[in-house]
């Protein structure tokens, strides 16, 4: 008996994409934006490269091209409303830092800022970009990473008993990891 049923191709990415949602922060000389991103992955260990797929029309992509850098911020479940807000409005028309009451602090290595309310952040220099359909894969080289003290176990993995990251299942569905 065949237990499988066909899925719409449109939904196929949801079978592989339940990683934790991140907030990409990017800035130009005058403007800042914070963009919610679910489509991301590590791509190299040496050098350490991380990537995310940004729709070609995203304001964040424009700012990343200008500043050649971006910051990956890790929100926890308490920030779900902020994640939805930053994933709904564009920085072209809304000052998301101000409207979402987020604290933007300057990064140490890159032309960018991190979000103090998040549990961790990773500073990235733009390494390369790959156009892929209606998105651009933005690859960043990590220059430094910081996490709040309670986030990691002594083995250096996220302590899911203390930090609940947000996993996007698709649409308005979100989940958390459980032991
Ligand atoms: C849960 C969630 C996940 C999202 N993931 C992505 C993504 O991976 N790539 C992307 O380009 N947009 C994604 N978006 C949409 C952008 O965050 C949204 O269009 C945002 O307003 C863009 O802001 P900007 O124009 O300032 O860059 C996501 C939105 C939500 C709510």
pLDDT at 120: 94
**pLDDT, tens digit (0-9, with 9 covering 90-100), for 92-144:** 999 999 999 999 999 999 999 999 999 999 999 999 999 999 999 999 999 99
pLDDT for 55 beyond 80: yes
> Which amino acids bring their CB within 6 angstroms of ligand 1?
21, 33, 35-39, 53-55, 58-60, 84, 87-92, 168
Q: How many domains does the chain have?
A: 1
Residue 4 lies in a domain: no
The answer to whether residues 96 and 34 touch, using CB atoms and an 8 Å cutoff, is yes
What is the model's pTM?
Answer: 0.95
Report CA 90 to chain centroid distance, whole Å.
15
Atom of ligand 1 nearest to the CA of 63: 27
Residue partners of 138: CB distance under 8 A and separation at least 6:
51, 52, 53, 54, 61, 64, 70, 126, 129
Q: How confident is the model at residue 36 (pLDDT cuts 50, 70, 90)?
A: very high
Mean pLDDT lowest for which of 21-35, 50-64, 88-102, 140-154? 140-154
**pLDDT, tens digit (0-9, with 9 covering 90-100), for 76-85:** 999 999 999 9
* C-alpha to C-alpha distance for 56 and 43, rounded to whole angstroms: 20
CA-nearest residue, atom 16 of ligand 1: 87
CATH of the domain at 146: 2.30.110.10
3-state secondary structure 76-130: EHHHHHHHHHHCCCCCCCCCHHHHCCCCEEECCCCCCEEECCCCEEEEEEEEEEE
Rounded to the nearest whole angstrom, what is the distance from the C-alpha of residue 169 to the centroid of ligand 1?
14
Residue 2 lies in a domain: no
Residue 158 lies in a domain: yes
Residue 3 lies in a domain: no
Measured CA distances, 44 to 22, 38, 127, 146 (Å): 19, 19, 11, 19
Tell me the residue range of the domain where 25 lies: 9-175
């Amino acid at each position: 008996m065949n237990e499988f049923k066909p899925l719409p191709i449109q939904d196929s990415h949801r079978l592989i994409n339940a990683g934790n949602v991140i907030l990409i922060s990017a800035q130009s000389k005058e403007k800042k934006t914070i963009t919610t991103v679910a489509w991301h992955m590590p791509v190299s260990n040496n050098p350490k490269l991380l990537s995310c797929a940004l729709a070609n029309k995203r304001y964040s992509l424009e700012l990343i091209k200008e500043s050649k850098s971006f910051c990956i911020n890790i929100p926890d479940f308490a920030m779900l409303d902020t994640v939805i807000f930053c994933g709904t409005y564009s920085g072209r028309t809304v000052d998301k830092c101000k409207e979402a009451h987020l604290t933007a602090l300057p990064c140490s290595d890159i032309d960018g800022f991190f979000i103090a309310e998040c549990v961790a952040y990773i500073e990235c220099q733009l390494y390369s970009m790959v156009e892929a359909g209606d998105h651009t894969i933005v690859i960043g080289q990590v220059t430094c990473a910081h996490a709040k003290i309670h986030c990691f176990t002594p083995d250096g993995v996220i302590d899911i008993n203390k930090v609940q990251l947000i996993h996007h299942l698709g649409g308005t569905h979100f989940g958390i990891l459980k032991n």
